[in-house]
Amino acid sequence: MLLVIAAMPAFAQEEKLFNGKDMTGWTYFLEDKSKKMEDVWSVQDGVIVCQGNPAGYIRTEKDYENYVLELEWRWPAGKKPGNSGVLVHTTTENALGVWPKSLECQLGSGNAGDFWVIGTTLSVFNSKIRSMDRRTVNLTNGSEKPIGEWNKYVIVCAGDTVTCVVNGDVVNYGWKASQPKGAICLQSEGAEIHFRNIVLHHLSD
């Protein structure tokens, strides 16, 4: 999988999922039906700003499989960090409360790279030690940068495998994903979080 990441720019077609100006290409789902996307998600100076409330997510209008997803995120300085995540292979809505059927690649402060299965399954190393209910903790400590600084997330979805890389550290790996295709989502989950430079690289067959 590390070879896939290293070789990726040479043979993958790039698709920008965020144009830096507006939310073109994204739809939304919020727990509070009286709220609109712009009540929670906005674009400021080339950055997607998520207010964190109410709970919900933005979702790509297209489905994807066999790709490398790159994005940057940060918890804003001067505010308490919290929880969020990148959902991959997203399909059915409301599989678990507000959350759709998917695999969550965690962004929660201090836990980036954890896996959370939401109506799906995934095989992982040392599952008896690392997996608890729906969660599989990541393999490293200290991969995240201080609050206020930008972090880089690389998520490789190749076939039925998923690899999470945080700031250059491989933090989790799984295989036999029960659902290897679907939309990509970013969560609103209780705390302000910022995103930028969201780019997808299509892997060659």
Give 6-35 pLDDT, tens digit per residue: 444 445 689 999 999 999 999 999 999 999
Q: Is the pLDDT of residue 197 over 80?
A: yes
Could you give the 3-state DSSP secondary structure of residue 113?
Answer: coil
Q: Confidence class of residue 1 from pLDDT cuts 50, 70 and 90?
A: very low
Q: pTM score > 0.85 for this model?
A: yes
Whose tokens are 């590390």? That residue is 2
Q: Is the model's pLDDT at 2 over the cut of 80?
A: no
The residue-averaged pLDDT of 48-60 equals: 98
Return all residues near 130 (Cβ < 8 A) that are at least 6 apart.
124, 136, 137, 139
Domains annotated on the chain, with CATH: 2-202 (2.60.120.560)
Please, are residues 67 and 162 in contact by the beta-carbon 8 Å criterion? Answer: no
Tell me the per-residue pLDDT of 138-191, one tens digit each, with 9 for 90 and over: 999 889 999 999 999 999 999 999 999 999 999 999 999 999 999 999 999 999
State the pLDDT at residue 205: 63
Instruction: Name the amino acid, one letter, at 12.
Output: A
Instruction: Rounding to the nearest 10 degrees, give the CA dihedral for residues 118, 119, 120, 124.
Output: 50
Q: What is the mean pLDDT of the chain?
A: 93
Q: Tokens for 67?
A: 């790709």
User: How do 115-118 and 135-136 pair as beta strands?
Assistant: antiparallel
